[in-house]
Amino acid sequence: MRRAVVGALVGLLALAGCTNNPYPDADTGQKVLYSSFVEAPRTLDPAVAYTTAEHVVTANVYDTLLEYHYLRRPYELIPGLATEVPKAVNLPDGGESYRFKLRDGVLYHPDPSFALGEKGRMTRKAVAGDVAFQLMRLADPAVNSPVASTFSDVPGFTDLGKRLTEMRKDAQFAALPRHVQYQKAGGLPGVIVHGDLDIEIQLTQPNPQILYWFTMPFTTPMPWEAIAYYDGKEGRGNLSDQAVGTGPFRLSRYEKQHRFTLEKFKDWYGLSPATAPTPGVIFPSDISTEDVKAGHIDPSYGGKRMPFLERIVFTREREGIPRFNKMLQGYYDDGGIIKESFDAIVQDDRLSPEMAARGLRLDKEVEPTIFYMGFNMDDPVVGHAAGDKGRKLRQAMSLAIDVPEYLRLFLNGRGEPAQSPLPPAIFGYDKGYKNPFRQPDIARGRALLTEAGYKNGIDPSTDQPLKLSFDTGNTTAQALLQYQFMVNAWQQLGLDVRVNATTYNQFQQKVRQGAYQIFQWGWVGDFPDPENFLFILVCENSRTKSQGPNTANFCNTEFDALYKEMKNLPNTEHRLGIIRKMIAILERERPWIELFHNESYTLNHAWLVNAKPMGLSYPVFKYKDVKPKQRAEMRAAWNQPVRWPLYLLALVIAVAAWPAVRTYQRERQ
C-alpha cells in the first residue's frame, strides 16, 4: 500500500517537470528551423507544382540553373547550377538562343531509382541531358504542365506534344519509358545538348523573359530514372509524393497531411571545397546598412558558405489561432498574424512594445501580386458588345469601390491599393500614378450611369434597378461579408447586384462555360517583369478562347499590339512609354477594378537570422540560420510549467491516503 502511494506521488512529481515542447529533446541544441503549413502540397513533381504550398518543398529540394540575388532590389539574376547568366545570341532566322554551361560534380540526392541506370547505384551527376529531358516533359501533354505555353517559342515544342499524342495510340509505344518515348518521337530540335555540361535553348523569336523561368523548378535537371521508377506500380510511389533533386536540402520525411522535413544534403555541390565561392553558394557580402539596421541580416555571415541549417521541419496547422499561439510560445520560428490578434500585435503600423520586448521582429513586404474585380467582357451588358454604354457602366462601378476601407475592415489594412495591374518593385510601376477611376466618387459614378442610360441605376427596359450577377467561389461567412461590401457600394449607385456564391469547383465550371458577369480574382507574379502582369489581359490568353488567364476575356487590338512590342524589350524609357499607353487603355476600358497588392506581415523571433522578406515565392532557407541556445532559453522563460496544482493534488492524495497507510501498518504489526 505504501509503495503504491509513493509511486503515485513520484509519478505526479515527474509530470510536474514535463513541458509542452512538441519536439524531441535531442533537437534542442541543433540548428533546426520550425515552420508550419496550412494546405498540403498536391504534387511535388516540379513540372507540375505551381502553388506556394508546393513551392516551399520543390524550390528548396530542386536546384535551378539561375537564381535571384537574395538582397538586391530590384531583383537581379545570378548563376545557380549554371556557371553564368547567359547572354542572348541572335540567330539567322530572327530568333535567338541562350547557352547554359552547367557546374561539374553536381550530385542528385541518394535514391533507389538510380539502380535502373546501373545496378546498386544510389546517385549520379546531373548533366545537361537531364535539363533537356525536363523540358521535353513540359512539352508532354500527359504531364499537363501549367507552364507549357511559356516554352512554345522553342522550335519543335508544340510538335513534340502532338507526335507523342499520336504515337501513344500504339500500346507498345505507350508502354516504353518516357525518355525512350521522347527519343523515338524526335525530341526537341530547339534544345541542343552540346556535351554533359553544355546545353543551348533556341527560340523562334526574342524573349528575354525566358531566363526568369530558369529560376523555377519547372526547368530543373530531372533524372530519367526517377520518372521511370516512380510510376505507382508494384508498390512504388508516384512522383507527386517523391523528390529527387540536387538542392541544398533533401526531403527526408514526407507525411503529406501532417509533417515533412527537409534535411541538409551533405553532398550538395556548394559544400564541396572544390566548388568556387560563387553567388548561389556563399552568403552575399554586399549587405546594405538598411538591412542590418532593420535586423534582417547579420553582416558577419557575408562570404560564408551555405546552407547553415541542419533541418527544416514543417508541421501542418489547419487553424490560425493554435498556429499563432505556438509561434508566440516559440515553437514556430516565424509566422503570420491572425486577424483576432492584429490590433494587439501591431500598433500605429509597427510592432507593439510588448511584442518588441519579446525580441520579435515585424517584417512587411508588398508582394508582386494583384487582386481585382473583373468583368466578363463577353457579356452583352457589361462587356464589349455594350460599347460606350458598357464602358461607362464599368467606370461607374469602379468609382464606387473604396479599397482603403475594404482593407481596413477585412485585412487589417494589409495591402496597398492598386492603381494598375503593376505592383511595386516591378518595372513600369509609378508610385505617383493615381487612376482616376480608382478614387472613390459616388457622385461621379452616378453621373456616368446617367450618361450610360441607367439614371439612378434604373434599367429602362424593366424600369427596375439594373440586375447584375457577382459570381464567387467561396461560401464562407467571412467571404460573404467581403462580397456584401462590394454589393453595398454598388447599391449606392442604384444597381442591384446579386452574389452567386458556389463552391470553387462550381465557380470554375461557370468560368469555363462563360456563364458569369462579375467576379473576383488574383494573380501572383511568376517573375519580376511587367510582361508577367500585362499578359493576363492579352486577347489570345482569353479564357473562352484558350482557357488562358485572361478571365475577363478582354480584347483590345491596340493593347495587344503594344504588348507584342513591349514584351521582349529591355527596361528602357521606350519600354516605359509603351507600358504607360497600355495602362491608359486599361484605365479607360475598365475590364478590371484593381483592388490591392497584397502586403505580407511576418513575425520573426530574435533567434532567426537572415530572414529578409523576398516578396517572390523563392527558396530562402539556405540563407537563414537559427541560434538554438537563445531559442531554448527564451522558450523556457515563456513556457514555465504551472506546478502548484500538481503539488496540491499530491498533498490531497497523501492526506487522504494517510489513514489507510496507518491502518495497513498496524495490521502488519
Domain that holds residue 170: 63-233
For 293, which DSSP code? H
**Per-residue exposure over 221-235, b if at least 16 CB sit within 10 Å of its own CB, e if not:** bbbbbbbbbbeeeee
Q: CA separation (Å) from 32 to 20, 375, 569?
A: 18, 47, 44
Whether 390 and 424 share a structural domain:
yes
Residue 380 lies in a domain: yes
Does the residue 243 lie in any domain?
A: no
Looking at the structure, tell me whether residues 612 and 513 fall in a common domain. Answer: no
Phi/psi-derived region of residue 130, left when phi > 0, alpha when psi is between -120 and 50, beta in every other case: alpha
Please count the other Cβ atoms lying within 10 Å of the Cβ belonging to residue 565: 14
Backbone angles phi, psi at 496, to 5 degrees: -110, 95
Q: pLDDT band for position 52 (50/70/90)?
A: confident
Residues 165 and 305 in one domain: no
The residues that bridge with 315 in the sheet, in sequence order, are: 36, 259
Question: d(Cα 205, Cα 174) in Å, to the nearest integer?
Answer: 33
- Average pLDDT (344-355) is 89
Q: For residue 390, what is the enclosing H or E element?
A: helix 387-400
> In terms of domains, do 634 and 647 share one?
no
pTM: 0.83
Structure confidence at residue 568 (pLDDT): 85
Can you say how many angstroms the Cα of residue 199 is from the centroid of all Cα atoms in its chain? 29
Find the helix packing angle between 387-400 and 442-452, rounded to 10°: 160
The model's confidence at residue 648, banded by pLDDT at 50, 70 and 90, is low
pLDDT value at 660 more than 90: no
Residue 394 has pLDDT above 60, yes or no: yes
Q: Looking at the chain, how many residues does it have?
A: 669
Between CA 407 and CA 368 the distance in angstroms is 17
β-partners of residue 311 are 32, 263
Does one domain contain both 218 and 312?
A: no
Closest of 602, 524, 618 to residue 35, by C-alpha: 602
Same domain, yes or no: 527 and 614: no
User: Residue 45 domain-assigned?
Assistant: no
The answer to whether residues 558 and 424 belong to one domain is yes
User: Which of 125-139, 298-312, 462-476 is predicted with the least confidence, judged by mean pLDDT?
Assistant: 462-476
Grid cell locating 401: 469601390
**Do residues 527 and 547 both lie within one domain?**
yes
Provide the 10 A C-beta neighbour count for residue 648.
Answer: 10
What is the spatial distance between Cα 416 and Cα 425, in angstroms, rounded to a whole number?
A: 13
Residue 360, CA distances (Å) to 363, 455, 461, 609 in order: 10, 54, 61, 12
Q: Per the structure, how many domains does the chain have?
A: 4
With a CB cutoff of 8 Å and minimum separation 6, the contacts of 485 are 406, 409, 410
C-alpha to C-alpha distance for 146 and 143, rounded to whole angstroms: 9
Which pLDDT score, from 0 to 100, does residue 86 have?
A: 97
d(CA 431, CA 412): 22
Is 55 domain-assigned? no
The percentage of the chain sitting over the pLDDT mark of 90, rounded to a whole number, equals 73
* Mean pLDDT rounded to a whole number for the chain: 91
* Same domain? 294 vs 404: no
CATH number of the domain bearing residue 288: 3.40.190
CA–CA–CA angle 264, 266, 269 (5° rounding):
105
Contact 457, 465 (CB under 8 A): yes
**What gap in Å lies between CA 407 and CA 482, rounded to an integer?**
10
Model confidence band, residue 652 (pLDDT cutoffs 50, 70, 90)? low
Nearest Cα to Cα of residue 543 among 552, 533, 556: 552
User: Which amino acid is residue 38, in one-letter code?
Assistant: V
**Domain final residue, candidates 176, 208, 233:** 233
Rounded CA separation 311/308 (Å)? 9
User: Same domain for 411 and 303?
Assistant: no
81 and 221 Cβ atoms separated by less than 8 Å: yes
For residues 9 and 20, what is the distance between their CA atoms, to the nearest angstrom? 21
Q: Which of 198, 233, 268 is the last residue of a domain?
A: 233
Going by pLDDT thresholds of 50, 70 and 90, the confidence category of residue 10 is very low
Residue 433's domain is classified under what CATH number? Answer: 3.10.105.10
Same domain? 408 vs 543: yes
Q: What is the pLDDT of residue 271?
A: 95
- Return the sign of the alpha-carbon dihedral for residues 524, 526, 531, 537: negative
**How close are the terminal C-alpha atoms of the chain, in Å?**
14
- Residues 428, 552, single domain; the answer is yes
Q: What is the CATH number of the domain that holds 97?
A: 3.90.76.10
Backbone angle region of 428, left / alpha / beta, with phi > 0 → left and psi within -120 to 50 → alpha: left
Check whether 377 has a pLDDT greater than 60.
Answer: yes
What mean pLDDT is predicted for residues 99-103?
97
Coarse DSSP helix, strand, coil percentages of the chain, rounded to the nearest 5 percent:
40, 20, 40
Say whether pLDDT at 254 is over 50: yes
**Dihedral angle of Cα 556, 558, 560, 566, to the nearest 10 degrees:** -150
Tell whether the model's pLDDT for residue 6 goes beyond 50: no
Which residue do the cell numbers 521535353 mark?
136
